[in-house]
Structures are given as C-alpha cells and as structure tokens.
Amino acid sequence: MDSGKIRQKFLDYFEKNNHSIIPSSPLLPQGDTTLLFTSAGMVQFKPYFLGVKTDLSRAASCQKCFRTSDIDNVGSTIRHLTFFEMLGNFSFGDYFKEESLKMGWDFLTREMGIEPERFYFSFYGGGKAPRDEETLEILKKILPAKLHSHIVELGEKDNFWAMGETGPCGPSSEIYYDMGEKYSHAGCSGPGCDCDRYIEIWNHVFTQFDRQEGGRLKPLPRKNIDTGMGLERLAAIVEGKKSPFETTLFYPVLESVSKIMGINYSSETACNFRIISDHLRAAVFLISEGVIPSNEGRGYVLRRIIRRAERFAKIMGARKPLLYVFAEKVFDIFKDAYSELASSRNEIIRTIKLEEEGFLETLEKGEEILENLFRRHNDFLPGEEAFRLYETYGFPLELTREIAARKGVRVDEEGFVAARERARRAARAAWKSSGEKDMSMFGKIEENLSPTKFVGYETLSHLARLIAAVDLRGKEIDSLKEGEKAYFVFNETPFYAESGGQVADTGLVYDEDKTESLAKVLDVQKSRGEVFFHRVRALKSVDFSVKRTKFFIKVSEDRYRTMANHTAVHVINAALKKVFGRGVRQAGSLVEPERFRFDYTMASAPKKEEIRKVEDIANSAIFQGYRVFTGERSLKEAREFGAVMLVGEKYKDPARLVLINKNGWKNPQEHYSLELCGGTHVSDLSSLGSIKICLLYTSDAADELDGV
C-alpha cells in the first residue's frame, strides 16, 4: 500500500466513523498571528477547541505542516522532518478517551494490518496533574492481556500537553512502534527514548483541564480530543521501509539525485540525500503558497532551507544549480493529493533556480569577504560584521559559523542577534501600520446572537433593528451620552465589515423617522460568527432601550470610491498575471476610498518596462469598456472557469464571484478577470477613469508592489 492509499484510507475510516473530513489548511496560518507556519493538525481547529465555533463535533484531516525546530537533526535521524503531513482526528465536546484510543487501535491493526505486538502505549504518570488512571484502565480494556506489558508510564515531557502556563491542557497517550533491536543504542530506555528504535506514531491528547493562575486544574465543561499521526512514519511501517526517506513520499527525489549526480544512496551518503529531499519538499510547498526567499520572516526560513539543501548538494559535488531539477519529482509525488501545485509549477521551479544561482554567487563573494574579515579580526568575528554580511549579501549566520569553525574563528552570535534586532526596530519605526485588531472580546457577546444579514450589495441605507449594544469593554448598555463610543449590532446592515483587504464603511445612524442623526459609524468589524460589530460615537445622548430598537442607518459616499479602488485591484491582479504568468501571487491588499495598495510576490524584481506593460493592459481594459458582474457559483464551477482564489482564504460553497468581461455569465471562461471575492465593486470599468502604478519595493529583494 503506497502513501496515497494510506492517506485516503485514514480519511475514509474516520468518515465511516461520522467525522467531517476537513481539507488541509495552508502552511501560512490565516487569522493567527501567534504562528509563522502551520505546525500541527490542530491549528485550523483552534476556534473549536476554544469554543468560539460550535458547528463541528468531530472532524478528521490530513494537514500540511512545517517546522524548523529540529532542522539540525534532519537527515541524521529517521524521525525528524521539516515538511510533513499530519493525520488527525478531533472531537469537540463529543467522544473522549476510550473511543479515541479504540479507533486508534482498530485503525492500525485492522485497517492497516500492522502486527499488534510491535506497538507500545504510554499514559501520563502524574506530576502537575494527577496520574491518568483512567487511560491506564482503558488501555488494559482495549489491548489483549499479553500486551499489557506494552503499556508504559511516562511523565510531563512526553505525556502532558498545555497551551501555556494557563488555559486548556491535559494528559496524552502516545502509540509507539518498535522498529527492532538493531535501531536501539546502548542504554535504550524503551518507548520515549530518543533513539530510532521506538518511533512515536500517534499521539492522542485529552484536553480536559483549564489550568488557572497558581496551577489549579479546573475541569473543562467540554472535553476535547486532538490526535496527530505522521503520514511519513506510518508509510515507512506500512511500506516496510527502514525510514520515511525510503517511502513513496521521498524516494523518487532520492532516485533523481542519485541518477543525475552519479552517487549511490548508501549509509555514507544518506544524510546528504535526506536533507536535500526533505528541504526540497518543504520549499515546493512554501513557494506554492506565495512565500518568496528573502531576509526576513517566512522568506528567510525558505531561503535558509533552499541554501542548506544547496550546501549539501555542493558537498556531494554539485557545481551548478540542480535543486530545481530534483524538485520536478516532488510534483510527481503529490500530483494526486495536492493538485493545486500544478498551477504554480513554473513559478516554483523558477524561484528555486534563481535562489540557487544567487546563493552560488553569494558563496563565492561571501567566502572572499570572510577571509578578509578573519585576517582583520584574528580569532573572533564581531556580531556587527556577521550581520552586515547577512544583511548585504544574504549570507546566512549558519554558513558564517561553519566556515569560521573550520578556520578556528569564534563568531559573536549574541552580537549578531543584537544587530539584527536593532535593524528590525528601525524598519518597524519606518513602516507605519495599524496593526491587528483585537476581536477577542466579541467571542462571548456573539454566543447568543444570530449572524448579521449584509444588504450592502443592494443598498447603502436600511431600516434595521438594534439587537445588541456594548461599551468598548464589552459590557451591555442601553444608552449613550454625547461623545461616548460603543459597539452596535443590527439584525441587518448595509455597512461593509473590514475584510479581504477592503476597509470598513463609515456612515451615520439616524432615528427611525430619519429626522435626526444620532451617532456616527466609525468602523465595522466582523467576528468569526459573522456578527457585524459597528463601532459608533454618539452625536447626542441616545436612548435605545427595548421600546426604541429600530434605526435608519446609512453608509457614507466614501463607499463609491472604495468600490472603484477594489475593482481596480482586480484589474491590476489580472494584468500582472498576463505579464508575469499565473505564478504571480497576491500577498495582500489595502482598499481605501483614497487609494489602493496591491502586494504581490515574485522571485525577482520587475523591470520598469514590465510595469509599464501592466499599466497599459489595465488601462486598456478600462478604455475597452469591460463590465463587472457578480454572482454565486459552486467552488467546483469556479475552478472550472479558472477563477483566481487566494491561498489560505476559506470560501463558502457556493461562493461569490466577481467577473470582468463584456458578455457577463454567458461565457465566464472568456474573461479579463474572474476572482472569488466578497467585496463591493463598481458595475463597469469606466468608473475607474485610469490607473497609475507606483512601485514600493521591500528591503528584501523587491518582493512587493504598491499600486496607487
């Protein structure tokens, strides 16, 4: 059974057991600023674990994940990876320990047909929480008596999970697979040891406590299950391989490296082969989601793994870029599971090749500069110098450290970190940003509220019923004094809530008879539950007790300019794709009444003549009199029509499409632009007048564009 069948068998099994099968979320977490990358299967389910969303009781997924915490171990062990797929089943206040462990045992032994005697189960032995006697008894009940000796007791490090010092937490039970005595080392302590004999396959986390200040554990009213099983490790067992790297998820890349470089995959070369194949898989998926190599954030992580893979290819004898050639095999491995990779294929290959070429040049230049620095500073390289080399040439600290070690030179890494932080502070001061809006207080308020009906596509004014009003701290109120601010929730509203890069509408709240204006709408935010919170400032004292619940609300005329600018974003996006290809990725946008900004990612800086061409195409579309149509279609139809979808955006099905062409929906395949979008738009391009593009390059290799 190959990896593709294993993946599908897992999802089919849990669907059979009444789980909703949820597609993988992107590697770039949406709406979660605490994470750089999606690192576990539970990330997209956080709102359910926290009780913010309640429309799912049980779910299962195969989640794309990326971690670099163990990057230095990749290749030297058979268990560490950067990119991997996490199989998981989840319960939100539904089933708990016994059913989860029963399904785990059943799937592995009956569905996968793995020899039961090879498995070991752990339970939490106590510490900050009581010993998990319940799980111990469940395991004795599930497992045959002859396997009771395979139940092991482990501590906090292995078998207790917590979100932080306070908050949801609970014990866990891990399922280990015994690879055999030949994989152990002297002094192996059994399951939980760091050697490669006992490989953790599946972790079942039982979230049952809410840890309070001071460490007191309060039982959660809704207990949850969060499990995770690495597809790569499971594939190694089912396919009968020594490690994940020999499975169908990796081996085609290893074969390509061996064939092109003329080097056999063996115990002596395995580490290099593994690093190249692991890092290439990760790079392909990161670039497919719009990440571009740079010197900051996600772009730096991508640059690091490509350059790390290139270093090991160079150690094996590569004298020219080859990673992009090996990457072709990654597409073959995942073509059935992640068909979206195909649309980014050319851009991915081009990006990897450009980064390789740049790095090989950097190596030559950087090593020359380092030689001069070593002569000047003898046995100690100051952090400022190491950072200048990194900032100017993109020369990684890891490589500086490695070359310095060969010369017996010590690198001031603390000084490097300090210099980098000074540079970041300066950059942050130069870039003015409004930051993230705190929506956390809306969670409790909306529990008893129905979703707000948005009528703003059809009208800019509406008679609406006020169904909730709270002050800025979230406390319920029934009146306002002049100048005071609050949040209003109406049953229906024409006000657009900030989303998709489009700013919120502003406007006024009138009395029911439209005779006097009572409050100004300053902002509108939309919660996860689709409740619209209108931030208002009272223009006079207002009483909105039960007797007076209806108000006439009206959007300001700024909306018309905002609509024009949002349509202009679509026009520019389409023009960019016509010039640079469909691999161009939208990385964000800002749509305001006065202007719009459109951010996009490319592997190299655009030339001035190319930008002029984009501008000409955009203005030609305006002059040709294209019209703008909106309508709902299924996601399947949208894909067939060739609609543009943002990476990571979760769309409803059916979804709202914005179509720009001359003939409307008669032939949507023939279009200038077609995007899934919930924003507001003008009805034809003549409203735009003309578009002028101004460039704003990032400090990291010109990855973004501001269109004004």
Give the other-Cβ count within 10 Å of 466's Cβ. Answer: 18
* Mean pLDDT along residues 265-287: 94
Q: How far is CA 457 from the centre of its chain?
A: 30
How confident is residue 443, by pLDDT bands cut at 50, 70 and 90?
low
Q: Band the pLDDT of 427: cuts 50, 70, 90.
A: low
HSE-up (13 A, CA, CB side) for residue 53: 14
Of 275, 286, 196, the C-alpha closest to 243 is 196
- How large is the average pLDDT for residues 671-675? 94
- For residues 18 and 647, which has the higher predicted lDDT (pLDDT)? 18
* Residue 35 pLDDT class (50, 70, 90 cuts): confident
Q: Which pLDDT value is given to residue 196?
A: 85
The string of DSSP codes covering 3-24 is HHHHHHHHHHHHHHTT-EE-PP
Is the CB of residue 129 less than 8 Å from the CB of residue 178?
Answer: no
Which residues are registered as beta bridge partners of 644? 675
pLDDT category of residue 482 using cuts at 50, 70 and 90: very high
Query: Which pair of tokens denotes residue 458?
Result: 């059809």
What residues form DSSP beta bridges with 105?
A: none
Percentage of the chain exceeding pLDDT 70: 93
Exposed / middle / buried, residue 32 (Cβ in 10 Å: 0-12, 13-18, 19+): middle
E strands, 283-437, are 380-381, 410-411
8 Å CB contact between 524 and 532: yes
Q: Which two tokens stand for residue 101?
A: 């462990």
Cα separation, 671 vs 574, in Å, equals: 10
The angle subtended at Cα 434 by Cα 432 and Cα 435, nearest 5°, is: 110
Per-residue pLDDT at 31 exceeds 70: no
* More confidently predicted of 400 and 398: 400
| Average pLDDT of the residues in 330-334 | 96
The first and second tokens of residue 51, run together, are 């009780």
465 pLDDT tier (thresholds 50, 70, 90): very high
Is the pLDDT score of 303 beyond 50? Answer: yes
pLDDT of residue 430: 42
pLDDT at residue 647 greater than cutoff 90: no
Other CB atoms within a 10 A radius of the CB of residue 662 amount to: 13
The mean per-residue pLDDT over the stretch 391-397 comes to: 75
Condensed to tens digits (0 to 9), the pLDDT of residues 569-601 reads 999 999 999 998 877 777 778 899 998 988 877
Compute the distance between CA of residue 104 and CA of residue 202 in angstroms, rounded to an integer: 8
Region for 187 from its dihedrals, namely left if φ exceeds 0, alpha if ψ lies in -120 to 50, beta otherwise: left
Dist. CA 685–CA 662, nearest whole Å: 11
How far is the C-alpha of 86 from the C-alpha of 45, rounded, in Å? 14
pLDDT score, position 547: 52
pLDDT of residue 648 exceeding 70, the answer is: no
- Among 34-38, 569-573, 640-644, the range with the most confident prediction by mean pLDDT is 569-573
Q: Which of 61-70, 261-270, 451-460, 544-553 has the lowest mean pLDDT?
A: 544-553
Q: How high is the mean pLDDT of the chain?
A: 88
Q: Locate tokens 């058979």: which residue? A: 78
pLDDT(438) > 70:
no
Strands annotated E in 17-93: 20-21, 58-66, 83-92
Separation of CA 561 from chain center:
32
For residue 489, how many other CB atoms are within 10 A of its CB?
A: 23
Q: Amino acid letter at 112? A: M
List, in order, residues 6 or more apart from 278 with CB less than 8 Å away: 74, 75, 81, 82, 83, 245, 250
Does the pLDDT at position 183 exceed 60?
A: yes
Which strand (E) or helix (H) includes residue 102?
A: helix 97-106
pLDDT for res 49: 85
Contact between residue 490 and residue 537 where contact means Cβ atoms under 8 Å apart: no
pLDDT value for 642: 87
Q: Which residues contact 560 (CB under 8 A, 6 or more apart)?
A: 682
Q: What is the pLDDT of residues 194-248, one digit of tens each?
A: 888 999 999 999 999 988 888 889 998 889 999 999 999 999 999 999 999 999 9
Lowest mean pLDDT among 98-102, 177-181, 697-701: 697-701
Longest dimension (CA), the chain: 86
- Confidence bin at 561 (pLDDT 50/70/90): very high
pLDDT higher than 80, residue 700 = no
Q: Is residue 667 pLDDT above 50, yes or no?
A: yes
62 has pLDDT over 70: yes
Round to whole Å and give the CA distance between 107 and 473.
48
Instruction: Report which of residues 649 and 292 the model is more confident about.
Output: 292
Cβ(122)–Cβ(192) under 8 Å? yes
pLDDT tens sequence across 112-132 = 999 999 999 999 999 889 999
Rounded CA-CA distance 336/345 in Å is: 14
Alpha-carbon separation of residue 100 from 140, 360, 414 (angstroms): 14, 50, 46
The rounded distance, in Å, linking the Cα atoms of 542 and 549 is 11
Q: What is the DSSP letter of 289?
A: T
Q: How confident is the model at residue 165 (pLDDT cuts 50, 70, 90)?
A: confident
Provide the token pair at 413.
């890494």
pLDDT at 645 over 70: yes
Beta-carbon contacts of 131 under 8 Å, excluding residues fewer than 6 positions away, are 124, 125
Residue entry with tokens 């390059």? 697
Report the alpha-carbon distance of residue 304 to residue 273 in Å, rounded.
Answer: 17
